Amino acid sequence: MNCKYFGTCASCTLFDKTYNEQLNYKWQREKERFSELTTIDFDIIKSNEKNFRNRAEFRIWWEKDENGNEVLSYAMNDFKKNILKIDSCEMVSCHIKEIMPKLLKELEKDLVLSFKLFAIEFLGSSTNDMLVTLIYHKKLDVEWMRLSKEIEENLNIKIMGRSRKQKIVLSSEHINETLNINNKDFKFAYQEGGFTQPNTKVNIQMIEWVLNNIENSSKDLCELYCGGGNFTIPLSTKFNKVLATEISKTSIKSALRNCDLNDINSIQFIRMSAEEFVQALNKVRAFNRLKDVNLDDYSFDTIFMDPPRSGLDDTTRNLAKDFDQIIYISCNPETLHRDLKELVKTHEILNFALFDQFAFTEHIESGVILKKKHNLI
């Protein structure tokens, strides 16, 4: 890796390996972890070695030079948890990398912009649309808005300001993205504060992997933890109807917008937790949020789950066992292993993939497709 901070910056923990060596290390680790549950070959989805992140956050280090001028630096931790000042990052997209130094120069021009600036968040897209969130430990005023608007125009980016009990949107709080999935374009609006997959290339390959490993169905899909519809919208092309749930209000707002962008009307989004949805499906209790949704109108054969790092709770795991087909995307191999130990009692693993979302880190994403044992030929 051609990065001057490689081996010093603690964000890349596998700095002592080449890209293929770190990928092989993670593959061998997961192969051993899941050996008791399956012997099938893993599909390995590679990342680019650098410039793959379209989402990044950096702390800001503020100091004065010998002439008394304000100097801003991006800051990470080193391996001793000390502050490491950086001026670039090889992990971020080429567009973010290009904007990083230009943005600091603009912010250094006026104390209104630089003083008590705590962190900067970048949200980019493959279409070069970019939203930058400036996070402060002070109240933002009209002068800050005027100066930040000038930076928007100079750098052709969108800027938001955040501080305690303040959120200032200068032009827009979302960016536009187009993902080409199996030679079909899907449009998305990614909102600040909502969850988005940081590695666009791997994200596309994750979605394609799922689509290419399941059959078209005349029945319906149930999705838990749907986020902004990243998987939901492309997967809707494989099913009659989709019922998707998500607890985040921001994500539901994004999901509804993304459905409109793609002219899809076969998806119903519901804002509720996975645990609440299980109660609703099992008719344990009624929910006002479901007053316009008749669950009996759905004939599910597949459940799709992309849970947080904590994985599935006991109730959701038991619900999944009732579906003919389970699609499980995981960001934590440990909780995936725990959940699969239960799911393989009723289902068989047909496909297993490793997605290298975060190169040169210990992290790996996984995808598993399971089929109910009595339905296997």
Average pLDDT on 105-118 reads 95
Q: Of 53-67, 170-184, 211-225, 346-360, which range is least confident?
A: 53-67
Mean pLDDT of the chain: 94
- Domain boundaries along the sequence of the chain: 19-49+199-375, 55-174
Q: What is the per-residue pLDDT for 375? A: 61
* pLDDT digit string, tens, across residues 318-336: 999 999 999 999 999 999 9
Ranges assigned E (strand) in the chain? 43-45, 55-64, 70-77, 83-86, 117-124, 130-136, 158-163, 166-169, 174-181, 184-191, 220-224, 242-246, 267-271, 300-305, 325-330, 347-355, 365-372
Q: What is the per-residue pLDDT for 285? A: 80
**Whether residue 146 has pLDDT greater than 90:** yes
Q: What is the per-residue pLDDT for 293? A: 86
> Tokens 């912010």 correspond to what residue?
107
Q: What is the per-residue pLDDT for 274? A: 83
Average pLDDT on 30-48 reads 97
State residue 163 phi and psi, 5-degree precision: -155, -175
The confidence band for 377, taking pLDDT boundaries of 50, 70 and 90, is: low
The confidence band for 376, taking pLDDT boundaries of 50, 70 and 90, is: low
Q: What is the per-residue pLDDT for 275? A: 85
Q: Above pLDDT 90, what percent of the chain?
A: 84
**Whether residue 233 has pLDDT greater than 60:** yes
Task: Pull the structure tokens for residue 45.
Answer: 């989805």
* pLDDT digit string, tens, across residues 238-269: 999 999 999 988 899 999 999 999 999 999 99
Task: Pull the structure tokens for residue 311.
Answer: 């994985």
**Whether residue 304 has pLDDT greater than 60:** yes
| Cα dihedral: 176, 248, 332, 185 (round 10) | -30
Q: What is the per-residue pLDDT for 195? A: 83
Whether 346 contacts 326, CB under 8 Å: no
> Tokens 């120069």 correspond to what residue?
105
Read off the amino acid at residue 374: H
Average pLDDT on 349-357 reads 98
* pLDDT digit string, tens, across residues 148-206: 999 999 999 999 999 999 999 999 999 999 999 999 999 999 988 888 899 999 999 99
Please identify every residue annotated as catalytic.
331, 365
Q: How far apart are alpha carbons 355 and 358 in whole angstroms?
A: 9
**Cβ atoms within 10 Å of 310's Cβ, excluding its own:** 8
Q: Of 26-35, 60-69, 131-140, 220-229, which range is least confident?
A: 60-69
Average pLDDT on 63-86 reads 90
Q: How far apart are alpha carbons 309 and 364 in whole angstroms?
A: 12
For the 19-49+199-375 domain, the top CATH level (class) is: alpha beta
- Sheet holding 267-271: strands in order across? 43-45, 347-355, 365-372, 325-330, 300-305, 220-224, 242-246, 267-271
Quick one: 268 exposed, middle or buried, by C-beta within 10 A (0-12, 13-18, 19+)?
A: middle
The full 3-state SS of 123-176, as one line of letters, equals EECCCCCEEEEEEECCCCCHHHHHHHHHHHHHHCCEEEEEECCEEEECCCCEEE
Q: How far apart are alpha carbons 269 and 356 in whole angstroms?
A: 29
Angle between helix 142-155 and helix 94-107 axes, rounded to 10 deg: 140
Q: How far apart are alpha carbons 377 and 366 in whole angstroms?
A: 26
Q: What is the per-residue pLDDT for 231? A: 96
Distant-in-sequence, close-in-space partners of 195: CB < 8 Å, separation ≥ 6:
227, 228, 248, 251
* pLDDT digit string, tens, across residues 264-300: 999 999 999 888 888 888 888 878 888 888 888 999 9
For the 55-174 domain, the top CATH level (class) is: mainly beta
Q: What is the per-residue pLDDT for 215? A: 95
